[in-house]
Each structure stands twice: as C-alpha cells, then as structure tokens.
Amino acid sequence: MFPSFCIAKASRRPRAGNTRHQLCSSPPPKWCIRKGWSLARCSSTCEVTPQESSVNLKVFESYFVEKVNSYLLKTAEAIPFFELYFFMLVSQLNTWLKNCLTVNQAKQIHAQILVNNLCSLEPRLVCQLVFSAFNFSPAVFQYVQGILWHLQKPDSFSWSCTIRYFSQHGQFKEAFILYAQMQRWGLCPSTFSISSALRACGRIGYKIGGISIHAQVNKYESCHNVYVQTALLDFYAKIGTVENAQRIFDEMDERNVVTWNSMLDGYLKYGDLALARQLFNEMPVKDIVSWNSMISGYARSRDMHRACSLFQQMPDKNLASWNAMISGFVDNGKIDLAQCYFDTMPQRNNISWITMISGYSKCGDVDSARNLFSLMQEKDQLAFNSMITCYAQNSRPKEAIQLFDEMLKANFNAQPDKMTFASVISSCSQLGDLRFGPWIESCVSRLGIEMDDHLVTALIDFYAKSGSVDKAYVLFHGLYKKDLVAYSAMILGFGLNGKVSAASELFEEMLGAQICPNSVTFTGILTAYNHAGLVEEGYQCFNSMKKYGLMPSTDHYGIMVDLLGRAGRLEEAYDLIASMPVKPHAGVWGALLLACRLHDNVKLGEVAARHCFNLEHDKTGYSSILANIYASNERWDDAKSLRKSVKHEGSAKMPGCSWIESG
C-alpha cells in the first residue's frame, strides 16, 4: 500500500488558534498534513504493489505517528520529523519507480506524485518508464508522451533522456517522434538528443528524418560537437551513403575511436572490405569494437579464414568477439565449428545461446536447438522467439504454439512481441485452421502488439491458406507498403484457392510496380496455373524464370510435373524430370506416380514408384498407389504381391491414413 496519508505544500495559511494547525503556523510552513492529526488513512488513493517492500517507510510511519501524537503541541520538534518523512517518501517513490514494471503501476505512482505535489519526480518517472525492461507497447509510449507534454516545467533533460532510452531500446520511430515534438515545445535539442535521434533514423533507414536533423544541426552550436558529427557520420554509413559519411569524416577536426569505428562500419556495410581493411590498418587507436567489426565484416563476406586470423591476433577478446565468430560459422553453414567455439568460450550470454539455437534451426536440427533452449538459464524474449521460430520454420507448428503458450505463462522478462507473433501466425497457417483467426486477433490486441506490414503479411498467408481468401485480400489492400513477400503470399493465396485470373493479374500488377519476382512468387503463380490445369500458361511462366535470373527449384519442377501429369502428358512430365539439372526429390517422382494412377499408366508408374522407393524410407504410400495402378489394369497378381512385400517389410499401411486416398 502507498503511505497512508498525503503530504502537500500548504496552499494557504492555517487559521490561528487552531492547535491542529499549530505545527504549520510558525516558522513559515513548509508542509502540512492534509488529513489532520489523527493520521487517519486517507481514502485509499492507490494500490501500488511494488516489488520491494516499503518496510522502512512503514516503520518510520508508525514511529512518526507515535512521535507526532506525543509531541502534538511541540511544533519545533515535529517539523524535522515531518521533513524527514517527506524525504523518505521521495526515496520510497524512487524505489518504486525503480521497480515499476507496468503502465498500470506507473499510472498509480504518477497519481501519487501528483497528489503529493512532487512534480520534480515526473521526469524520473518518464525515464524510469522508458528505461524499464518491460514491453514498449503503444500504451507505454502514449503514456510517456502524455507526461512529457504535461510536465509542469518543460524540461529538455527529460525529453532527451526519453529520446535516448527509446533509441537504445529499439523504439526508433518513437524516439524520432519525440525528437520532433520536443521542438514544438520550444526546447532546444541537446547534443545527445540529436545523436540519439540520428541513431534512431539510421537504424530504421529513415533518410528524410536524418537528413532533416543534419540540416537543422547547423542552426545550433552542436554542429562542431564530435558526438553529433559522429552520429551524423554513422547515420549516413547506416543508410548506405558512404560518400556523405566519408565527407563528414574528412571534414572533422576531432575524431575519436568511435568516429573511426563508424567509418569502418560504413565501409563494411557498403561491402568494400579492402577499403575497410585499409582504414582498420590506419586507425590511430583500435579498440575491441574495431576488431569485432572487422571480424564480423569478414564473416559476413564468408571469409572465415581472415576472420579467424584476426580473432587470433586481437589483443583482448570479449563476448561479442566470440559471438561474432559463432555467428560467422552459423551463417557459413559450419554448425560444428560454431558449436566448438561455443563450447570453448570462457563465458556465454543469451546472444551466444540464441545464435546457436538459430544455427541449429537453419540446418533443420530442431532437437539440438531444443536441447540448447532447455539448458538456458534465463530465457528471455529473444530466446523464446528463436525457439518458436525454429519450430515454425521446421514444420512443427504445434510445438511452436505450445511454446508460445508456455511463454505467456512463463515470466515477465519474456513477453511476446511482434516477432513472436510473426512465427506464431506462420505456425497457424501451416495448420490451416480458420479457428485460429479470432484467437490470434484477441492475443494481439490483449498484448498491445502493433500490427505492422510484416505481421499483416503473415495474417494474409494465414487467411489465404485457411480458405478465407477474401479476408486475406482485404488485409492485402490495407498494407502500408506492398512488398515482394506480401505479393507472393497473396498470389499463392489466390493460387491455392483456385483464383487463377486474380493470381495472374496480381502478378502483372507486381511487375508493373517494379517488384522483381523471386522463386516463391513463381511457386505461387505456378500453383495457380496448376490448380486451373493451364498447361501452356504454366510452361510459359516456368520458362520465364530465367528472364529474372532464377533457376527453377525442385519444387517448381514438382509443380510442373503435376500439371503435365494431370493433363495426361505423362511422357512430357517424365522428360522434364529427366532434364532436371539437380536430383529430383521424392515429391517430384510422387507427382508423376499420382498422375500415372490418374491415367492408369503402368509403365511410367513403375519407374516413378521405383524412384520413390529409393528416395523415401516409408514406402507404404507409394506402393499403395502403384498397387492401385496394377489393380486398375487388372494386374491383380502384381498388386497382391506388392502389398504382400510391403507388409513383409513391416511397414504395412495404416488403415485410413494414406494421403493418396483422399487426394
């Protein structure tokens, strides 16, 4: 509970002769107790439940009550107690602020700040709110913004702190909005609000924002400040205009190691490794960041040899150095070496674990990923996200959703965010059950997740794959920016739902919007033609892939084989498989086998089935199709002996489970 009574600055002089107010009358009053001497509990103004107990204040409070009662008339002795109480109250509020975790708690503490007229604590509250590790939902942002707007005294420091905190906690858009608003309040931005806002613009690639700040910087004296100049340099390096970064770098009177590092990072992002290495060699002082940046630069360009060499040469290594190496091995498909470094490193943090988990996820080793995840001591939001993503991307949607449930129950440090939902929604679309729709939407609104284009695209895929293509299209229309992924999802959605003309129109629209299709887009459009049985259009589309610099994948061949096969062009389908530059997987031969079943072709059916048998351990489905082909051709003996041999191998078909019976 909050302290049982309120303290406020005396707003008017108390009436003379009233002993109750004698305490405040002389010397000139500083504070008085509003609710009288009985210290009766104020109508409970607040029910904050801070993490730390308020025992000290409570102890003091009872002591105070006792003292006040016994010294009721001895004004001079009561006042020091009273002031002390006030300071304790402030310190208690500070403690609570430190532990304030939710907007609700913040609102309650804020109410107490206002009621006690302790407005000097408001900036603290703002900073604490944004500094806390809890989720930065739009509600928090709005609340913080509200406090800043209504500060009794516009305070540049609170604004700057808030901008910096938002910028440091990945809330870049918010940081920039606050930066812009700050100036509407007539506050001159400090050098560190400028650099924070620039950082925010650089991170989200908000070019206009950063360039405006650059233009504005000249208005202030800050244009010669090394931090501001470094932030500007870094901004241009991040958005990829290295020439501008270079110009700022050249014109700087004073450079520190961060300036050099930012320039180095610019070269590395730009992909000019030789220039980066030259700068690295020229640096007057290298710190650990310089070494780490250079190592990850090499790792990103798949030069693990040079990365290793630098790693061995560097005078001091920190966690980031080891993590950069692990990440490099993971990105280069060397999970064993990554594991080796992971085992060797002197200390690990969550980044090390998460890098390994995502590494195993990328190579499809879900069990190893799960094993690492379960060994993690403190699972944070990103750890849950990486494991959920691992399940989602490795076709284990049920486990993804199960883990999401655990995450909701687990703890406060791991609240789902939009990245979590991207994978959760993806899992739901794999399950293709429309009933997940309302569940997703209620979770999203309950947790205050902002629906960005990324999430909406995942939802488009979900609704399209669950059969609600109209809803998907409505969402598609509402997208802020329709990108390649969104178009591909929608085209596939139309394709799966048999809307071939809509798919092909959308494909044209996408080309008109200068968006270059990739292999997923072609999967979508080919699926559409396949569903409609449009062989010629399919062929044309398949052949046009080269025009976009794309090699048809095994999946694309599979769709074409299916399309040709269903149309009865079995020989052609077989020739297409024979012409494949890569080895066809069982899906491709399976498509031909199915087509042979459809058209009762024993000769090709046997060939296709033989390939399927060689490629897949579980032969039951394929042999069942082949047996059916035999039966249709009245080759009862062959059908019988095939079924018998499969039974003999101990993998008898589970009754009613064959995917072919329904297909």
Nearer to DNA (CB atom), residue 122 or residue 417: 417
349 is a site residue for DNA (CB under 7 A)? yes
Q: Which residues inside 471-500 make contact with DNA, applying CB under 7 A?
A: 483-486, 488-489, 492
The binding track of 176-215 with respect to DNA, each residue x by CB under 7 A or -, is --------------xxx--xx--x--x-------------
Instruction: List the one residue from 92, 116, 423, 628 that touches DNA (CB under 7 A).
Output: 423
Tokens of 498: 């048999």
Instruction: List the one residue from 145, 318, 402, 633 that touches DNA (CB under 7 A).
Output: 318
Instruction: List the one residue from 158, 323, 339, 527 that touches DNA (CB under 7 A).
Output: 323
CA-based max dimension of the chain = 118
* Cβ neighbours of 319 (radius 10 Å): 15
Instruction: List the one residue from 23, 32, 121, 419 that touches DNA (CB under 7 A).
Output: 419
8 Å CB contact between 359 and 334: no
Nearer to DNA (CB atom), residue 67 or residue 454: 454
Nearest distance from C-beta of residue 298 to DNA, angstroms? 12
Query: 89 — phi, psi (to 5°)?
Result: -60, -45
429 is a site residue for DNA (CB under 7 A)? yes
Residues 6+ away with beta carbon under 8 Å from 313: none
The binding track of 238-267 with respect to DNA, each residue x by CB under 7 A or -, is ------------------xxxx-xx--x--
Q: Which residues inside 104-143 make contact with DNA, applying CB under 7 A?
A: none
The binding track of 512-551 with respect to DNA, each residue x by CB under 7 A or -, is ------x-xx------------------------------
8 Å CB contact between 99 and 131: no
230 is a site residue for DNA (CB under 7 A)? yes
3-state secondary structure 419-458: HHHHHHHHHHHHHCCCCHHHHHHHHHHHCCCCCCHHHHHH
Distance CA 521, CA 544 (A): 12
8 Å CB contact between 534 and 525: no
Nearest distance from C-beta of residue 257 to DNA, angstroms? 7
Q: Which residues inside 445-474 make contact with DNA, applying CB under 7 A?
A: 453-455, 457-458, 461
Distance CA 219, CA 21 (A): 55
Distance CA 177, CA 197 (A): 9
Amino acid present at 45: T
* Cβ neighbours of 149 (radius 10 Å): 11
Nearer to DNA (CB atom), residue 112 or residue 415: 415
Nearer to DNA (CB atom), residue 263 or residue 596: 263
Nearest distance from C-beta of residue 56 to DNA, angstroms? 30
8 Å CB contact between 404 and 420: yes
Nearer to DNA (CB atom), residue 93 or residue 449: 449
Say whether the peptide bond before residue 3 is cis (omega within 30 degrees of 0): no
Nearer to DNA (CB atom), residue 8 or residue 188: 188
Instruction: List the one residue from 140, 422, 545, 564 that touches DNA (CB under 7 A).
Output: 422
54 is a site residue for DNA (CB under 7 A)? no
Amino acid present at 491: I
Nearer to DNA (CB atom), residue 453 or residue 555: 453
Q: Which residues inside 270-299 make contact with DNA, applying CB under 7 A?
A: 287-289, 292-293, 296
Nearest distance from C-beta of residue 317 to DNA, angstroms? 9
Q: Which residues inside 379-398 make contact with DNA, applying CB under 7 A?
A: 380-383, 385-386, 389, 392-393
Instruction: List the one residue from 93, 324, 369, 627 that touches DNA (CB under 7 A).
Output: 324
Beta strands in 322-376 (DSSP E): none
DSSP string across 498-552: T-HHHHHHHHHHHHHTTPPP-HHHHHHHHHHHHHHT-HHHHHHHHHHGGGGT---
Nearest distance from C-beta of residue 258 to DNA, angstroms? 3
Q: Which strand (E) or helix (H) includes residue 33?
A: strand 31-33
C-alpha 313, offset from chain centre:
34
Nearest distance from C-beta of residue 495 to DNA, angstroms? 10
Tokens of 84: 């002390």
335 is a site residue for DNA (CB under 7 A)? no
Binding residues for DNA, total number by CB under 7 A: 77
Query: 330 — phi, psi (to 5°)?
Result: -60, -50
8 Å CB contact between 352 and 339: no
